[in-house]
Structure 1
Amino acid sequence: MDSPYRRELEVAIRVVEQAARLSQAVLPDTDKGAVEKDNHLGPVTIGDFAIQALLTASLHAAFPDDVFVGEEDASALRTDPVLCDRVWQTLQKTVGTASLPDIVLPTSPADMCDTIDHCQNAPGPGRVWVFDPIDGTKTFLRREMYAINVALIVDGQQTVAVVACPLLSPDAVMEAGVITNDSIDPTGRGSLLFAVKGHGAYVRSLSETQATARRLPPAVATTPLHPVTCFFLQESALDDVHRAVAEELGVAFPGSDLLGWVPRWASLAMGRANTTVWVYRRRDRHAKIWDHAGAMLLFEEVGGVVTDVDGRAIDLLAGRILTGNFGFVAAPAEAHPAVLKAVHNVLRAQGRTDLLGAN
């Protein structure tokens, strides 16, 4: 792919490939060192910590003037020397001192913690890298679908996206049926998806070269639409609203049922679903930037439209938490107005006008 961001894309792909290998090395472990986050937002594993350290050290070495935003912080490692050593040893065993292009590791366990904490920034103007080292940590713990998400945002605009789905077949784009948490690639190849704004989205296996990448076809507004969601696993959302929207649109529900947001965006880009709706229980609940930035670009580059429930574009300058938006509505361009209207109709019918913004 020839674009002004060719260097950024090449480096990010090489680093994400190595991160995917690291995740695959940790995946079979029964004990992945999972600890609950202080903010009660789910578990974090040695894989999450090690991958964020790898992503940050490598991309910071290549682009030292850029800002870095990541999901994890090193507080648990600083208070648990045994866990810290496990993360450090994981980096050494899976990446080590091998001479690999663009791959850089922290120099010590202390430097590793500092590197992870280098991502505790808020996004703003300029060049900002955003990392989700493992999206779908709960499913990763079960050896089910998960993803690694890397995005470059420039002045609030998604510009480069690289996503690894180590358990998802790259041939899914040519297959029928839904993708679920336990849709495991029987060949073990896994998928790498990438995009540069204005230059399309592509997929290949993690083991292949860039020359084998296939451009993803345009999103099509089929009748009926094919939704992707997460059903009955997230307390933050309104399953009854999502089901009613599907009924209003005359589509199957839940369709593709995936816990992680990044695999959901990947399934939309690959055409195994073509619409998603997410309505939080309260207007003061908001998404996190690392679950969406970059991964959304994959769908947009095949012709998808992504807005919030109010029909507004997603504001990636709002901060680590996307406080400028409420929920998500995504569909092919020609179908998006009908999906958005169905969401509004259901909220009014269910007496939830408190969840509708001023339109």
Structure 2
Amino acid sequence: MDSPYSHELRIAIRAVQSAAKISQSVLSSDDKGTVEKDDLSPVTIADFAIQALLTATVHSVFPDDNFVGEESAADLRDNPLLLSRVWELLLPLRDDEAKSLCKLPRSPEEMCAMIDECGFGEPGGPESGRVWVFDPIDGTATFVRREAYAINLALLEGGRQVLSVVGCPTLPAHAKGPIDNKTTGLGSIVFAVKGHGTYVRPLLETAREPALQKLEPHAASVSVADLRAVSCYHMLDSGVDGAHDAIMARLGIATRGCDLLAWVLRWVALGLGLANMTVWVYKKRERTGKIWDHAGAMLLFEEVGGKITDIDGKAIDLTVGRKLAANHGFVAAPRNIHHLVLKAVHDVLHEQGKANLLA
């Protein structure tokens, strides 16, 4: 695909392919070196190793760019055994480092420094220039259970999404919906460049799979009757009880559709046309999304005709910090009927006595 970001795209795809190798080597293991973070979410040795790999690779090519990622290396510095296990995950990639275009840290100390390059990074405001955002394993809770997860890599310029590359090691390139956390396949990469569309390809080229497919703008002009949802129905308690089902009932959506934990995979499902709407209302106004769960991946849906706002109808602001503190929740739908989905959200929240969740 020709675009102003062809070089960045080539580097990003190769980095995601190598990251997928790391994740798959850990996926089959019973002991994933899981640590519980302060927010009670899990992190594994794969998360640390992949963030180090992605940062080192992109930094070696674009040394003046900035980085934001989910993890910091504090737990590794405090736990020599955990540090050793993460370092050992990178060693098998040494043999094909040049061929894969990847750049690996040269020592455990450099590995920790690369992780912290992201872990303490901030996206900055509209004048922030180029910022790469990484989520090494989105869906760690399902990853630990050997289920669906994603590797998210995004490039922002001045806080605007310009490039998205998402590795989906468990999702086949030509998946048919609806899908859930247990859907398995050979794996795929879904990517988008601003103004140039959304594409899907196999995680690795094979003789049986087409190398690349551009996705048609499936969300450009559909009716409410055509809506198909993606959400998380069984694993999160952060959403408003009953509101999501009521909103879908108000819109006449008869089936729940795709059921996915990882937010990045939900954006992938929307980009691929396995669904074309999602709504999420947090129980508390102060609860917010995190930039690495959404940056870049939202572009996959926008490039096929989707529109994404928060529940107040405001555009998602990726410049305010590591948390999306300027927004509450998400409403994503085909551009021409987004206003109708947003109205259904407001109507249901008013009827349920939860209008306080609106601005």
Query: 1:122 aligned to 2:141?
Result: no
Question: Using the alignment, how far apart are the partners of 1:339 and 1:95 within structure 2?
Answer: 49
Q: 1:337 aligns with which of 336, 339, 342?
A: 339
Instruction: Spell out, residue by residue over 1:307-331, the C-alpha distance to the aligned partner (whole angstroms, 9 max, x if none).
Output: 0001111101011001011100001
- CA displacement at 1:93 relative to structure 2: 2.2
- 1:64 alignment partner in structure 2: 63
Contact 1:236 1:280 in 2 (8 A): yes
* 3-state SS, counterpart of residue 179 of structure 1: coil
Instruction: Spell out, residue by residue over 1:61-95, the C-alpha distance to the aligned partner (whole angstroms, 9 max, x if none).
Output: 01000000000011110111001000000110245
RMSD after superposition:
1.5
Question: Using the alignment, how far apart are the partners of 2:255 and 2:244 within structure 1?
Answer: 8
* 3-state SS, counterpart of residue 232 of structure 1: coil
Q: 2:153 aligns with which of 144, 150, 155?
A: 150
Question: Using the alignment, how far apart are the partners of 2:255 and 2:198 within structure 1?
Answer: 27
- 2:244 alignment partner in structure 1: 242
- CA displacement at 1:7 relative to structure 2: 1.0
Instruction: Spell out, residue by residue over 1:245-267, the C-alpha distance to the aligned partner (whole angstroms, 9 max, x if none).
Output: 01101113532110000110000
- 2:14 alignment partner in structure 1: 14
19-28 vs 231-240, which moves further = 231-240
Contact 2:97 2:103 in 1 (8 A): no
- TM-score after normalising by structure 2: 0.95
- CA displacement at 1:154 relative to structure 2: 0.2
Query: 1:325 aligned to 2:327?
Result: yes
- 1:263 alignment partner in structure 2: 265
- 1:283 alignment partner in structure 2: 285
Identity within the alignment, %:
56
- Seen in structure 2, the aligned counterparts of structure 1 residues 239 and 94 have a Cα distance that, compared at 3 Å, is farther
- CA displacement at 1:101 relative to structure 2: 4.2
- CA displacement at 1:211 relative to structure 2: 7.9
- CA displacement at 1:224 relative to structure 2: 3.9
Contact 1:232 1:239 in 2 (8 A): no
* 3-state SS, counterpart of residue 269 of structure 2: helix
Instruction: Spell out, residue by residue over 1:239-286, the C-alpha distance to the aligned partner (whole angstroms, 9 max, x if none).
Output: 411011011011135321100001100001111111000000011111
Report matched runs for 1:105-254 at 5 Å.
Answer: 105-119=104-118, 120-124=120-124, 125-172=128-175, 175=176, 177-185=177-185, 189-208=186-205, 212-220=211-219, 221=222, 223-254=225-256
Contact 1:224 1:250 in 2 (8 A): no
Contact 2:18 2:100 in 1 (8 A): no
- 1:5 alignment partner in structure 2: 5
- TM-score after normalising by structure 1: 0.95
Kindly provide the amino acid, as one letter, of the partner of residue 153 in structure 2: V
Contact 1:227 1:252 in 2 (8 A): no
Q: How many residues end up aligned between the 2 structures?
A: 350
* 3-state SS, counterpart of residue 322 of structure 1: coil
Question: Using the alignment, how far apart are the partners of 2:309 and 2:303 within structure 1?
Answer: 15
Kindly provide the amino acid, as one letter, of the partner of residue 57 in structure 2: S
Kindly provide the amino acid, as one letter, of the partner of residue 271 in structure 2: A
Structure 1 unaligned blocks of 5 or more:
none
